[in-house]
Amino acid sequence: MAEVRLDGVVKRYRGLAHDALQETSVTFKDGLFTCILGPSGSGKTTILKLLAGIEEVTSGRIQFDGVDVTNVTPERRDVAMVFQSYALYPNMTARDNIAFPLQLRGLPRAERYRRVDDVAAMLGIGPTLDRQPRQLSGGERQRVALGRAIVREPKVFLLDEPISNLDANLRMTTREELKRIHAELKATFIYVTHDQDDASAMGDEVVVMAAGRIHQADKPSDVYHRPADRFVASFLGRLPMNFLTGTVSDGDGSMLLHGEGGLAIDLGPRANGFRTPEGQVLIGIRPESVLATRAVGATTGVVGKVTLTEVVPPDSYVTASVDGWSVRARVVEGDELQPGDSVRLRFSLRTMHFFDPSSEQRLETASVEEPS
Ligand SMILES: Nc1ncnc2c1ncn2[C@@H]1O[C@H](COP(=O)(O)OP(=O)(O)OP(=O)(O)O)[C@@H](O)[C@H]1O
Ligand SMILES: [Mg+2]
């Protein structure tokens, strides 16, 4: 087991105009399953390569359990990395591919194969062990690559999108298996993915990255419910979050939101202990938190016109135009809406996210107890 730490690490590749990794400090906790989540090119694989020691840091330090390993060779770091491209030895059977690290250690053949059988059973690839990589499907190859890492029993697992080739069902069961394997091995898992479902299904913690920078490191539910900035807010969620720049003010017992183009939304009474930032704010609200109902002769509330309908099982959504603002909303069960229909939208203060319009950082809205 090991706690893994990057301390002020920068990575610059030759020929790349920007830093692949801007100055970054982050701790991957001992024995936890941490997912690094971010779009393509954000620097996820770069972090794994630095931790594995197959790329050198440009500056900064790397520590395992408080010991500086910045200049330690990959072989002496006791980490196993499963690459995005799962490089298997093409002329070896799956069994020998998995057994290879044990052969390097000089384990006797019978012992090697016994351990391979255990790992293969764990991964459900027993029947493929006598085949060569070219005789395996992409998903099976990924499992063999995983097996080769597991059989080494390292302190740290570095997994780079190891299940991206699996179909949806197999992906789901493999996630469960990986969690089980993690619980059994109690090692530190660092798992790179661009799939938020991977992160929320497996991650004890999630590190959200974009353009070489960590935007948030938190529990999966926190990155979803309390995104640290606009990027995290927009990257997570089934459907894109709605954003609106506006001014919030305290009306007559009610919070009022004035957007551009004459849009005015009554957000309801200020909830107990909930501090709404007043003044210019960037507001984010998830489509699932805006409720759309058919508006028959409605004159109060927020009324808009449906421009688009879509189904995201089990719910239906509409996109509506309200005073020039295009907003996506969840249709209340039982209502059927068509483009052109009048729709009433309900917003709640509780489910809104408030960001500083210039820095795009989250504005704190949690209740703060004043010392008495
Ligand atoms: N050896 C290299 N030389 C130059 N630039 C590189 C090298 N490796 C990566 N990069 C660049 O560094 C940035 C980060 O790359 P990285 O592979 O870490 O991204 P990633 O988040 O893993 O993306 P993906 O999800 O597509 O795998 C990218 O802009 C990439 O083009
Ligand atoms: Mg990558």
Q: Is the CB of 194 under 6 A from ligand 1?
A: yes
Q: How far is the CA of 41 from the centre of ligand 1 (A)?
A: 5
pTM of the model: 0.90
Q: Is the pLDDT of residue 369 over 70?
A: no
Nearest CA to ligand 1 atom 28: 41
pLDDT of residue 316: 96
Q: How far is the CA of 37 from the centre of ligand 2 (A)?
A: 10
CATH 2.40.50.140 residue spans of the chain: 242-355
CA distance 304 to 295: 9
| Tens-digit pLDDT profile for residues 293-337 | 998 766 667 899 999 999 998 999 999 999 888 999 999 988 899
225 φ, ψ to 5°?
A: -90, -25
CA distance 222 to 226: 5
CA distance 92 to 194: 31
Q: Candidates 14, 19, 44, 55: which one to mutate for ligand 1, based on the most atoms within 8 Å of Cβ? A: 44
User: 242-355: what CATH class?
Assistant: mainly beta
Q: How far is the CA of 265 from the centre of ligand 1 (A)?
A: 43
Which whole number is the average pLDDT over 31-51? 97
CATH 3.40.50.300 residue spans of the chain: 4-228
Nearest CA to ligand 1 atom 27: 40
Q: Is the CB of 193 under 6 A from ligand 1?
A: no
Q: How far is CA 62 from CA 21, 43, 59, in A?
A: 14, 16, 10
* DSSP secondary structure code for residue 42 in this structure: S
More confident residue, 340 or 271: 340
CA distance 80 to 147: 11
Lowest mean pLDDT among 169-183, 274-288, 337-351: 274-288
Q: Determine how many CB atoms are found less than 10 A away from the CB of residue 287.
A: 22
Closest-lying ligand 1 atom to the alpha carbon of residue 192: 22
Q: How far is CA 263 from CA 57, 103, 318, 322, in A?
A: 50, 69, 19, 7
**CATH architecture label of 4-228:** 3-Layer(aba) Sandwich (3.40)
| Percent helix, percent strand, percent coil in the chain, to nearest 5 | 30, 35, 40
pLDDT of residue 254: 76
Q: How far is the CA of 88 from the centre of ligand 2 (A)?
A: 18
- The rounded mean pLDDT for the chain is 90
Q: Is the dihedral of CA 226, 231, 236, 237 positive or negative?
A: positive
pLDDT of residue 171: 86
Q: How far is the CA of 362 from the centre of ligand 2 (A)?
A: 28
* DSSP secondary structure code for residue 226 in this structure: S
Q: Is the CB of 20 under 6 A from ligand 1?
A: yes
